[in-house]
Structure 1
Amino acid sequence: MTSLGHLKRLSAVRSSAGVKFLTPCAFPGSHCPLHPALALAGNIRGLSSLVIGTPECAVYSRVVLPKAQGDLHWTYVLDAHEVVFGCRKGLMDTLQKMDQAGAKAVLLLGTCVPDLIGEDIEGLVREMQPRLSARLISVMTGHFKCNSYPSGSWKTLKAIGALMAPREVRPRVVNVMGRSPDETHIPMPPLLRALLERGFTLRCLAPGSALEDFLEAPDAAASLVLSPFTDPLAADMEQSFGTPAFRLYDIYDPAEIGALHAAVAQRLGIEWDNALDDERPALLSLQEQAAKRLGGLRYVCAHTGPLGALPMAAYLAALGMEPLLLHLEEFWPGDKRWTELLNARGYDPPVCHMVNSDSDAPLLEGLSPALCLGDLPGARVRIPSVPQLSDLYGLCGYERTRSLLERILRVLDGPAAPGERRAPYGTL
């Protein structure tokens, strides 16, 4: 463990700043928070953007949005004078032009240099708003302040939330936060299907939605949160408009899933009539089998995409699995709950940020884990691995927990022999 001495243990982490790189590496590109912020702006109909930065940021923004259609997506490139003395005058003129060109709402995206020189973009927004028809919001995306990309998404969503206003509640409307209205590659969770069958309108709030969908969101009876990226916005709506948020993205335990389903039904004034319980008996049987196989196994967690590592680790700890090292893309405010659960169960693993797979893989192998949960892109890892856990993102309830356990047990069994047929786990 001497090579991991620079890492903090989970109990010592208070924010993403405490999560250190596993091996030395600078990783720009898709890990820059500008990437998801701009991509999100380009995929919300009715929202325009203005990237403020150096020529490198301008070129990169064209890579993220190569053929922006419909809404205006402009870049403002700082010249040498503005890098020293600021770009206030130029930004004001540009916003006037975007307003005249028909922008309905503009997201100003400040990059590293405006942040470093202390450009007051929030103050500029407050000053310019009374002069323009377009609504203005801003997000600072300086990469030097963070290791990774999630803040670009959740900060953008929180900024959009600032445009919301109170509305009369419609009791048959539910916000689905983190699922696109055009989503077909992720099956619709049973909970959402059951709501549709009971006549509810589901408003999806995610890339692919319209800005108007977000602005109407305070009229919903509840928000079902399927993604950690949308959780900060859901929390703001809960505080500002009283819209209750039910977090589905971080629950694996069958008892907690059942309790959450009951809470949703109570809030909406409905009965499920056992519509969500079809998979519960099979999951309980599978969980009993898994506990016998997984108790005492030690594992490392690599890239799981947007699927949170800590909620999953807390659930697996209840089955007796020991985390040796966890990769965290971001330490979310809600992760403190999972930290306390892991600590209460006797586990306090080092946590890290992995961005250099070829250098990271030997360190993981040196820990001699029984399993690696997640991926190390491009690296050859000599550890039994459970890959593509990001496929579970967007799922919720019993089916996601069942899929997780089935994947782990399948890897422990090893590859099937030619012609061998295996019964699915949980089948009696």
Structure 2
Amino acid sequence: MPDINHLKRLSDVKSNVGVKFLTPAAFPGSHCPLHPALALAGNIKGLSSLVVGTPECATYSRVVLTNTQVRQGELHWTYVLDASEVVFGCRQGVMGALQKMDQAGAKAILLLATCVPELIGEDIENIVREVQPKLSARLICVMLGHFKCNSFPSGSWKTLQAIGSLMEPRRVQPQVVNVIGRSPDEKHIPMPPVLSALQQQGFSLRCLSPGSSLEDFLAAPDAALNVVLSPFTDPLAAAMDQSFGTPAFRLHNVYDVAEIDALYSSIARKLKFQWRNEFYHERMEALALQEQAKKRLHGCRYICAHIGPVRTIPLAAYLAALGMEPLLLHLEEFWPDDKHWSETLNALGYDPLVCHMVNSGSDAPLLESLSPDLCLGDLSGTKFRVPCVPYLSDLYGMSGYERTNSLLKRILRTLDHLFMPKAGGGRRGIA
């Protein structure tokens, strides 16, 4: 059985390139950054796309966009490189395709360059600069070489950053708040209480996410602040803060009650109002659960597997403050600000191994060999003999005290199950 000596400690990782696969069983497909970039392009009203790549990329792009509703002024085209262009470049062909899309009525075009254009050194950004003065449509581009990132999240945040480059300064409207990371059509996930409370205070919420329109994104600099609910939108919020001075309040990576208190107070101070004890019950429950967790989780050794779009390292830093010891963390992405969170976790005395997990059947035996007490997240399709805290991806879309409550309840419920007496036997428990 292969060992884990090839993995790095968190303190040794400076970018996503340093995060190694746990086993050699890597695969592309949904882990390719083209997938979320195309999904975004197909779900932002008014945005067109041009994929530049091989026939495989073209076929894949059509699969991703199969159920996309194409509206007027939207085109989703592919430019397939021929053998000559792979050797000598595709500059003229791509410029011609962009001009044809402009003539066909595209208003804004997202050019998605896949692996081969990056490998042959094609200067896509220069192509965009050269052809832009000849077009009515506005152009942006994203480089999506899978060989540079190993995973998919960069396809989302790089695309949103590119859309942000189309923004221009606007007069600030003090009653407008951008909610970055929640769709205006997101009915299946309840509105976080903090957003409902802002509405009750008379603030207008503009949702920026798949399902929003390009016009919504372009109007975003007029907001008094950005409430950030998703790690995929965090780099866009950071860019807006730098370009327009729009302050960002990040709710997707905060769990500690005192930190939530400070964040909510800062939002109210910035918007010049006072809360009315709207969160009293949720806050008191979070305080009680947090004290209970400090007593019960101290010394618990865990691994973190697949937890969906929830940020791994900020979560590990919070749990470390409660006394939980991370042995190994699955990182779908090493985010731009993860260095800060890594330093926070290291300062608490923990330096776990980090990896990509992409094949549960091969990964499970290695994870079991670490003898963890718990596994956070899912390892589907295997007979994994480590107790798991499932469905942590459901935390996505929650924020504030209710998010902390949900997290701690799931962990404590799993511990309760471990300590339940077996029929005809003793009790189970963590080491």
TM-score, with structure 1 as normaliser? 0.96
Match of 1:300 in 2: 303
Instruction: Tell me how far apart the structure 2 counterparts of residues 110 and 163 of structure 1 sit (CA, whole Å).
Output: 19
Match of 1:242 in 2: 245
Query: Does residue 21 of structure 2 align to residue 21 of structure 1?
Result: yes
SS at match of 1:21: coil
Instruction: Tell me how far apart the structure 2 counterparts of residues 159 and 213 of structure 1 sit (CA, whole Å).
Output: 15
SS at match of 2:232: coil
- Tell me the CA shift for residue 134 of structure 1: 0.4
Match of 2:272 in 1: 269
Matches within 5 A, 1:45-194: 45-68=45-68, 69-70=70-71, 71-194=74-197
Extract unaligned runs of 5+ from structure 1: 419-428
Instruction: Tell me how far apart the structure 1 counterparts of residues 378 and 182 of structure 2 sit (CA, whole Å).
Output: 23
SS at match of 1:279: helix
Query: Does residue 342 of structure 2 align to residue 336 of structure 1?
Result: no
Instruction: Tell me how far apart the structure 1 counterparts of residues 98 and 271 of structure 2 sit (CA, whole Å).
Output: 43
Instruction: Tell me how far apart the structure 2 counterparts of residues 99 and 245 of structure 1 sit (CA, whole Å).
Output: 35
Listed one character per residue, the Cα deviations across residues 126-155 of structure 1 (whole Å, up to 9, x for unaligned) are 111111110000001111111100000000
Match of 1:32 in 2: 32
Match of 2:9 in 1: 9
Instruction: Tell me how far apart the structure 2 counterparts of residues 72 and 379 of structure 1 sit (CA, whole Å).
Output: 42
Moved more, 222-231 or 271-280: 271-280
SS at match of 1:103: coil
Listed one character per residue, the Cα deviations across residues 340-397 of structure 1 (whole Å, up to 9, x for unaligned) are 2211111111111101110101111111111100112322211110111110011110
Instruction: Tell me how far apart the structure 2 counterparts of residues 119 and 351 of structure 1 sit (CA, whole Å).
Output: 33
- Tell me the CA shift for residue 275 of structure 1: 1.3
Instruction: Tell me how far apart the structure 2 counterparts of residues 141 and 341 of structure 1 sit (CA, whole Å).
Output: 30
Listed one character per residue, the Cα deviations across residues 159-196 of structure 1 (whole Å, up to 9, x for unaligned) are 00110000000000000000000112221111100000
Extract unaligned runs of 5+ from structure 2: 423-431
SS at match of 1:368: coil
SS at match of 1:305: coil
1:392 aligned to which of 391, 395, 400:
395
Does structure 1 retain, via aligned residues, the 8 Å contact 2:172–2:222?
yes
Matches within 5 A, 1:358-397: 358-397=361-400
SS at match of 2:196: helix
Listed one character per residue, the Cα deviations across residues 186-220 of structure 1 (whole Å, up to 9, x for unaligned) are 21111100000011111111000000000000000
Match of 1:421 in 2: none
Listed one character per residue, the Cα deviations across residues 223-268 of structure 1 (whole Å, up to 9, x for unaligned) are 0011111111111100110100011100000000000000000000
- Tell me the CA shift for residue 337 of structure 1: 2.3
SS at match of 1:414: helix
Question: Number of paired residues?
Answer: 418
Match of 1:218 in 2: 221
Match of 1:259 in 2: 262
Q: Percent identity?
A: 73
TM-score, with structure 2 as normaliser? 0.95
* AA at the equivalent of 2:49: S
Match of 2:209 in 1: 206
SS at match of 2:142: strand
Does structure 1 retain, via aligned residues, the 8 Å contact 2:25–2:362?
no
- Tell me the CA shift for residue 332 of structure 1: 1.2
* AA at the equivalent of 1:114: P
- Tell me the CA shift for residue 293 of structure 1: 1.1
Match of 1:426 in 2: none
Instruction: Tell me how far apart the structure 1 counterparts of residues 320 and 280 of structure 2 sit (CA, whole Å).
Output: 25
